[in-house]
């Protein structure tokens, strides 16, 4: 996390904590503290899901770029090339999608549906990653197809749509089960 993001997150948490304590009123200090802690956890969880979405988008774009140019495809035919190393990184990002979401922990109630959509997207993206592996084997074969990424494209596109649904649910805050 960059210093700017860390400072922004700290400021947001302090603002939420101060806002919660300023509301005071009839509630006890224990309730206010719990509310402030819940708000801080929600801010942290939301930031984690936004980072997840950004990393998945970067991986999908990177895979598309690697398979879109003849130069990159030629480079991909050999292990250890720049294209191969880049693709391994993107594949790893997709392959660890579910574990990344699970590391965020249980979603706050308002973001429950965003977590459901994110896990659904992860299942699809992880299946797509396996198809990307098959595409690499195809490129490295003696007779590669004209569109080696073709079988993976639909699956990855579906995963991207599901990922966007998670982002929408995060933005509007839909509790799970609604």
Q: Does residue 80 fall inside a structural domain?
A: yes
97-125 confidence digits (pLDDT tens) = 999 999 999 999 989 999 999 999 999 99
Q: Does residue 47 fall inside a structural domain?
A: no
22-45 confidence digits (pLDDT tens) = 444 444 455 566 588 888 888 999
Q: Does residue 98 fall inside a structural domain?
A: yes
126-176 confidence digits (pLDDT tens) = 999 999 999 999 998 878 788 889 999 999 999 999 999 999 999 988 776
Q: Does residue 40 fall inside a structural domain?
A: no
Instruction: Give Cα separations from 170 to 49, 56, 125 (angstroms).
Output: 8, 16, 19
Higher-confidence residue of 17 and 120: namely 120
Q: Return d(Cα 129, Cα 153) in angstroms, integer.
A: 10
Find the domain containing 156 and state its range.
55-171
Number of domains in the chain: 1
Cα angle 104, 108, 109 (rounded to 5 degrees) comes to 140
Q: Does residue 161 fall inside a structural domain?
A: yes
Q: Does residue 86 fall inside a structural domain?
A: yes
- Output the pLDDT for position 98: 98
Q: Does residue 151 fall inside a structural domain?
A: yes
Neighbours of 172 (CB within 10 A): 10
Q: Does residue 5 fall inside a structural domain?
A: no
């Amino acid at each position: 996390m960059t210093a700017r993001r860390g400072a922004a997150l700290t400021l947001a948490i302090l603002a939420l904590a101060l806002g919660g304590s300023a509301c005071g009123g009839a509630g006890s200090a224990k309730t206010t503290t719990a509310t402030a802690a819940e708000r801080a956890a929600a801010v942290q969880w939301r930031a984690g899901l936004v980072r997840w979405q950004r990393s998945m988008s970067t991986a999908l774009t990177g895979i598309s770029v690697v398979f879109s140019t003849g130069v990159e495809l030629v480079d991909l035919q050999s292990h250890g090339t720049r294209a191969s190393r880049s693709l391994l990184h993107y594949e790893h990002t997709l392959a660890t999608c579910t574990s990344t979401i699970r590391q965020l922990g249980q979603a706050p109630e308002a973001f429950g549906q965003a977590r459901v959509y994110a896990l659904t997207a992860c299942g699809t993206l992880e299946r797509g990653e396996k198809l990307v592996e098959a595409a690499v084997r195809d490129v490295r074969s003696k007779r590669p197809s004209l569109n080696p990424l073709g079988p993976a494209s639909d699956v990855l596109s579906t995963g991207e749509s599901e990922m966007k649904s998670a982002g929408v649910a995060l933005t509007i805050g839909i509790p799970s089960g609604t």
